[in-house]
């Protein structure tokens, strides 16, 4: 057998970071636009502002509903055909769907077709991100040394704040360089049109990177088994993982609820809340979100490294407890409308969020054996994203409309944190768990 080429973990980690960053950038620019532009552009004039905002956030939620579907589709092919091929396909789909959003005419030009097409494109975005996360995470984790899987897995996780920072920076530049009327008319489209860059990165991954050693070992074991038994191995990885590990999938989903739900309240709902309820200028809140994400980002690799030494569960649960306690100070500080205090609210919230999120890729992939790892980890993550982030801006909007106080949203954030805390408490420790690569193990 030919000698394997040496793996450059620096190149693998940076590629995982780049793929995740651009993919999440595409996903986040939709959330920012849904808060700032889409209520006026893609829905009928004359709708009450709160109704238009809810409708806009509903299209945002469609992407989360599609994410488990994407996890199943891309998970199947990722476990059958390879991590690299599935990741490349997901990046191509995201790049093309996001670019199409930037070309979509508004309600004034094509009527009801505008929100319908918008929903279809958002669904495609959801399919793509549902498949991308597993591919980017496994690209790093399955190439990493056993004692550094948490650290290298955090590079895929760092794509989230990187994508958010890039998205908000571009919207800030657009808002600062064009008049408000021009921003609504055409400038908001530029961030979406820039998504075509993801197509180029997909081609780089396809041409320059090999699949992971663990997947190659799985393929070799499967081929040997086929030769010995004289038949082709069959069965769906999704069905296998659902039958063998339903508890792990549910607990994995539960672990996602807190960091996903509170994150989207902080970076999507808070933008709409600050501009429309607190009457904070749009550039101020966007800058606060961007700086908050930037300051909190180093927590991702730091806590992931700590989980490599001390285990995943303890570090995660510490983050969940702190995030739960911060739920009330977050809105108390945000409600002041003062930039330093709003920034403090976001730095605290995103820091505690990142304590959970940084190690999550390693924790969730370690829960499943190689044969259906892409499927299991992706499905758990994306199911949790529906009940966490997908409906969080809608629920937060509805809670404020009913109770007229942000404390109701704080209570909702605390409940999300409690769900994840309990889920990870029930989980067994995955740190340094012996991997099983043989089919049927």
174-178: long-range contacts, CB 8 A cutoff, minimum separation 24: 175/282, 175/283, 175/286, 176/283
Spatial distance between the Cα atoms of 128 and 38, rounded to a whole number of angstroms: 21
Answer yes or no: is 6 within a domain. Answer: no
Judge whether 225 lies within some domain.
no
Burial of 232 (0-12, 13-18, 19+ CB in 10 A): exposed
Q: Is residue 218 part of a domain?
A: no
* Across 427-439, average pLDDT: 58
Is it the case that residue 295 has pLDDT exceeding 90?
A: yes
pLDDT tens figures, 46-75: 777 778 888 888 887 888 888 888 888 888
Please give the helix or strand (H or E) that residue 345 lies within, else none.
Answer: helix 339-357
- 162-195 residue pLDDT tens: 988 888 888 888 878 888 888 878 888 888 888 8
The pLDDT assigned to 225 comes to 59
62 falls within a domain = yes
What's the rounded Cα separation, in Å, for the pair 100 and 116? 13
Say what the alpha-carbon torsion angle 43, 48, 53, 58 is, to the nearest 10 degrees: -70
In a domain, 132, yes or no: yes
Cα 209 to Cα 207: distance, rounded to the nearest angstrom? 6
What angle (nearest 5°) sits at the alpha carbon of residue 238, between those of residues 237 and 239? 95
Specify if 1 maps to a domain.
Answer: no
pLDDT tens-digit map of 101-124 = 999 998 889 988 988 999 999 999
pLDDT number for residue 227: 59
Number of domains in the chain: 1
Question: What pTM was estimated for this model as a whole?
Answer: 0.82
Residue 5 belongs to some domain of the structure: no
Cβ(357)–Cβ(160) below 8 Å: yes
Q: Which domain holds residue 419?
A: 11-211+235-426
More confident: 318 or 80: 318
Q: Which of 136-145, 207-216, 296-305, 339-348 has the lowest mean pLDDT?
A: 207-216
* Structure tokens that stand for 218 in this block: 């799985």
Residue 344 · residue 415 · CB < 8 Å: no
Asked, for residue 437, whether it belongs to a domain, the answer is no
Structure tokens at 73: 């589709």
What is the spatial distance between Cα 395 and Cα 226, in angstroms, rounded to a whole number?
50
354 CB-side CA count, 13 A = 30
- The CATH number given to whatever domain includes residue 309 is 1.20.1250.20
């Amino acid at each position: 057998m030919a000698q394997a080429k040496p793996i450059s973990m620096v190149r693998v980690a940076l590629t995982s970071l780049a793929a995740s960053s651009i993919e999440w950038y595409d996903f986040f620019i939709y959330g920012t636009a849904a808060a700032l532009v889409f209520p006026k552009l893609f829905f009928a004039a004359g709708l009450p502002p709160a109704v238009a905002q809810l409708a806009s956030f509903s299209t945002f939620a469609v992407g989360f509903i599609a994410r488990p579907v994407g996890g199943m589709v891309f998970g199947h092919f990722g476990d059958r055909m390879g991590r690299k091929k599935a990741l490349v396909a997901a990046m191509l789909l995201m790049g093309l769907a996001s670019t199409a959003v930037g070309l979509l005419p508004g309600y004034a030009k094509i009527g009801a077709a505008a929100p319908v097409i918008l929903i279809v494109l958002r669904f495609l975005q959801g399919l793509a991100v549902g498949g991308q996360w597993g591919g980017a995470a496994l690209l790093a984790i399955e190439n990493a040394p056993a004692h550094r899987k948490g650290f290298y897995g955090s590079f895929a996780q760092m794509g989230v704040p990187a994508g958010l920072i890039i998205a908000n920076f571009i919207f800030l530049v657009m808002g600062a360089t064009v008049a408000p009327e021009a921003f609504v008319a055409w400038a908001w489209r530029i961030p979406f049109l820039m998504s075509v860059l993801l197509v180029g990165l997909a081609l780089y991954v396809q041409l320059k990177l090999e699949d992971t050693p663990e997947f190659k070992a799985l393929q070799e074991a499967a081929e040997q088994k086929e030769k010995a038994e004289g038949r082709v191995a069959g069965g769906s990885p999704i069905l296998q993982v659902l039958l063998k590990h339903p508890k792990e999938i549910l607990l994995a989903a539960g672990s996602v609820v807190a960091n996903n739900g509170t994150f989207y309240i902080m970076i999507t709902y808070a933008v709409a809340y600050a501009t429309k309820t607190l009457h904070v200028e749009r550039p101020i809140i966007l800058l606060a979100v961007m700086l908050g994400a930037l300051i909190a980002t180093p927590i991702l690799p730091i806590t992931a490294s700590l989980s490599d030494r001390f285990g995943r569960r303890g570090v995660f649960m510490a983050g969940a407890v702190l995030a739960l306690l911060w739920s009330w100070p977050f809105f108390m500080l945000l409600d002041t409308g003062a930039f330093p205090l709003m920034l403090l609210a976001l730095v605290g919230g995103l820091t505690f969020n990142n304590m959970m999120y940084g190690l999550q890729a390693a924790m969730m992939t370690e829960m499943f054996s190689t044969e259906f790892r892409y499927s299991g980890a992706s499905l758990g993550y994306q199911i949790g994203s529906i009940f966490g982030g997908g409906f969080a801006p809608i629920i937060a909007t509805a809670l404020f409309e009913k109770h007229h106080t942000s404390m109701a949203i704080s209570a909702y954030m605390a409940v999300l944190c409690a769900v994840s805390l309990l889920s990870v408490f029930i989980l067994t420790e995955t740190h340094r768990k012996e991997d099983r690569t043989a089919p049927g193990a």
